[in-house]
Amino acid sequence: MLIPIYGFVEGDTMGVLVLAEERESVSSLTSKLLDAVSLRVDVNYQYEAIYQGHVLAPDATVVQSDLRPLQRLDLKRKHDVPEGSHNR
Amino acid sequence: MLNREDWLPLARKLDWEFSYVDEKEVYPEIVSGRPWLTHSAWKDWEESFKTSYREYVENQHEKDMAVYAVRDAVGRLENVQSLATPWINGLKVHAAALPLAEFTATIGNLRSARFGRDSAWRAMASFGALDEIRHTQIPLLLMHELVRWDSQFDWTHKFYHTNNWLAIAARHFFDELTLGQNAIEFQIATNIVLETGFTNLQFVGLASLAHGAGDYMFEKMVTSIQTDEARHAQIGHPVLGLVMRHDPEYAQYLIDKWFWRNWHLFSFLTGVTMDYLTTGEQRSASFKEFMEEWIVDQFFRTLDEFGLKRPWYWDIFQEELEVYHHMMYASAYTYRSTLWFDLVLPGPDDRRWLGNKYPKHWNEIEAVWQRIDDRWKRSGAGAEKEMSVHAAVLPAFCDLCQFPLCGGTPRNNTANTLELNGASYIFCSEPCRWIFQKEPERYAAHKDLVKRVLAGEAPADFTALRTEYFQLTPGTWGKDVYGGDYEWLSANPHSS
């Protein structure tokens, strides 16, 4: 089942809709979201996923992270040091 | 034979007491508005123009002849073709957004011509309705005929009949402002906030930029419209004055609500045109400077005049004034094929100018443009490369203003969610959320574009969304004005 999530990546000018799969990892969802905004955002940084004020574990699945439809998910830069290909 | 001074008041102030029906049935609150007061409270309602129908027709005829004369002299196709390409695309924005919105104001005025609470108000609203028909017809006449040269001008008629995302946002605004509104809220929102306030951006700011751009036809069109608005906008002041005396909290709410709603609409329509679709040498001031001089100052005078306070969200507004339309334009550029006009990549001189005018957050916006530059450099210029420099996932939209979630800054987007009666909503800003929560019964059932897609009412496939739902074609959808072919871009081939 696909879960629609509002994604906001630090450095972007807008929010986008991303469809998460229940068994998908947070890390995979992060990559999907970064790919979606890469035209506007330099995504060569380390990012952490933040949902309702909590940092999500990258290995946890979408269901384990209790991501709900039509809620806000943020990707915030962990460090302002480019990481090359860490995320992409 | 009576003199004008004798017969005009007889015609304008023609109210009577009802003998076989209750006044509340004649002017029900749902259509006439609140606070509901007996006519004794309204009987001294007055405005300063006191125009007769004969005078109105003579004046309008003269104004129309002046517009036609300017069109014949400087409004021919070759005159439009000589304008800067970005400016022509600003014209397409206004050609689409303006005329049929004006027509909805005809309906709003006609409602007031029936349900306004004093005969002088109803008389002036009748003229207002005629004005708005004129404001529909003039831009249709002048701009739709350009479709023979450029098919994107077809959107002069087509825009509001589509489900294009920007049309959804504009329709959400005008449906509430003019079509589905009671007489009191219509007059305060339209006359006080829109016509005495925000349309100054068009009538003064954009008219001056049009002059600088050599677009004398557009300049004449909007200044001619302004003379009508200055007259019928007089309805709003005595209406607001009476509401303020009887229900000041409600008056404050209407002002606060409509200032914010206008702000978001005009940020796109005018902000984008002024700061991005006007070329460097034509710019006399930034959108922010026009806002501060012609909107904010005027708004403060209105607040003082009526004893109103600044809206509670004033700090948020001032922050958005720095950055909101930049967030919108950069976003829209990356989704340009969802629009009916072409967008320009701001060049180094433009960015320097914008950086000086908007120093607070420009570095964050500049980073986005550099990223887009890099994509053009990697893909190379040309029409066939357009989609290489284009986003492909569905944007998310605010459940109040219906614009993309572009609130805040790139570092800190201000979107926020709300759960209400088992449904989820998202808003681009606190004021949008506040307006929604004040009247949820008014807004909750409206589906934003994302919810339409999720409900299966709009295609999820991006191509089908553009063509079937937005009614665009490869020939009409928006592109980069120059196909990414910028001398400055190829002169700096560095890619990050």
Q: Do A39 and B375 touch (CB under 8 A)?
A: yes
Residues B182, B173: Cα–Cα separation, whole Å: 15
- Note whether A72 contacts B: Cβ–Cβ < 8 A: yes
Measure CB to CB from residue A18 to each of B372, B375, B393 and give the nearest one.
B393
CA gap A47, A43 in Å, rounded: 8
Instruction: Please state which of the ranges B3-7, B22-26, B365-369 shows the lowest mean pLDDT.
Output: B3-7
How does strand A72-77 pair with strand A2-9?
Answer: parallel
Q: 3-class DSSP state for residue A79?
A: coil
Contact A39/B416, CB-based, under 8 Å?
no
DSSP secondary structure, B90-139, as one string: HHHHHHHHSHHHHHHHHHHHHHHHHH-SSHHHHHHHHHHHHHHHHHHHHH
What is the CA angle B79-B160-B413, rounded to 5?
Answer: 95
Does B326 sit within 8 Å of A8, measured CB to CB? no
Options 3.30.413.10, 3.30.420.10, 3.10.20.270, 3.40.50.720; which CATH number does A2-77 get? 3.10.20.270
Round to whole Å and give the CA distance between B313 and B55.
43
Mean pLDDT over B146-172 rounds to 96
Q: Give the position of tokens 């999530």.
A: A5
Q: Which amino acid is at B217?
A: M
pLDDT, residue B75, reads 86
Q: Tell me the average pLDDT across B406-410.
A: 98
Contact B331 A14 (CB under 8 A): yes
Is the model's pLDDT at B494 over the cut of 70? Answer: no
CB contact under 8 A, B331 and A13: yes
Q: Which residues contact B466 (CB under 8 A, 6 or more apart)?
A: B337, B338, B472, B477
Those of residues 28-67 in A touching chain B at CB distance below 8 A are 36-42
Q: Do B417 and A70 touch (CB under 8 A)?
A: yes
pTM of the model: 0.95
Answer yes or no: is pLDDT of B348 > 70: yes
pLDDT computed for residue A86 by the predictor: 42
- Taking Cα atoms as reference points, which of B120, B233, B108 lies closest to residue B181? B108
> Strands, DSSP E only, in B391-459?
416-420, 423-427
A40 to chain B: which residues are within 8 Å by CB? 330-331, 334, 368, 371-372, 391
Query: Residue B398's closest chain A neighbor by CA?
Result: A15
Flag if B368 and A41 touch (Cβ within 8 Å).
yes
ipTM field: 0.94
Among the partner-chain residues B330, B417, B453, the one whose CB lies closest to the CB of A13 is B330
Per-residue pLDDT averaged across B449-457, rounded? Answer: 97
B108 Cβ contact list (under 8 Å, min separation 6): B132, B177, B178, B179, B181, B186, B190
pLDDT of residue A83: 54
pLDDT over 70 at B332, yes or no: yes
pLDDT at residue B426, rounded to an integer: 98
Q: Which of B95, B88, B72 is nearest to B143 (CA)?
A: B95
Share of chain B above pLDDT 70, in %: 99
B398: buried, middle or exposed (CB in 10 Å: 19+, 13-18, 0-12)?
Answer: buried
Q: Is it the case that residue B356 has pLDDT exceeding 60?
A: yes
Q: Is the pLDDT of residue B5 over 90?
A: no
What is the predicted pLDDT for the residue at A1?
A: 87
Q: What is the mean pLDDT of residues A6-17?
A: 98
Residues 6 or more apart whose CB falls under 8 angstroms from that of B7 comprise none
| pLDDT-based confidence at residue A87 (cuts at 50, 70, 90) | very low
Interface of B with A (CB under 8 A): 326-328, 330-331, 334, 364-365, 367-368, 371-372, 375, 389-396, 404-406, 410-411, 413, 415-417, 424, 426, 450, 453-454, 496
Distance spanning both ends of chain B, measured CA to CA: 83
Considering only CB atoms, which chain B residues are within 8 Å of A88? none
Q: Please answer yes or no on whether B410 and A12 come within 8 Å at the CB atom.
A: yes
A40·B334 Cβ contact <8 A: yes
CATH architecture of structural domain B50-491: Orthogonal Bundle (1.10)
pLDDT tens sequence across B74-108: 888 999 999 999 999 999 999 999 999 999 999 99
Region at A54 (left for phi over 0; alpha for psi -120 to 50; beta for the rest): beta
pLDDT at B496 over 70: no
> Would the CB atoms of B415 and A8 count as touching at under 8 Å?
yes
Decide if pLDDT at B204 tops 90: no
pLDDT at A54: 96
CB < 8 Å to B367, chain A: 11, 42
Q: What is residue B493's predicted lDDT score, i.e. its pLDDT?
A: 62
The widest CA-to-CA distance across chain B, in whole angstroms, is 83
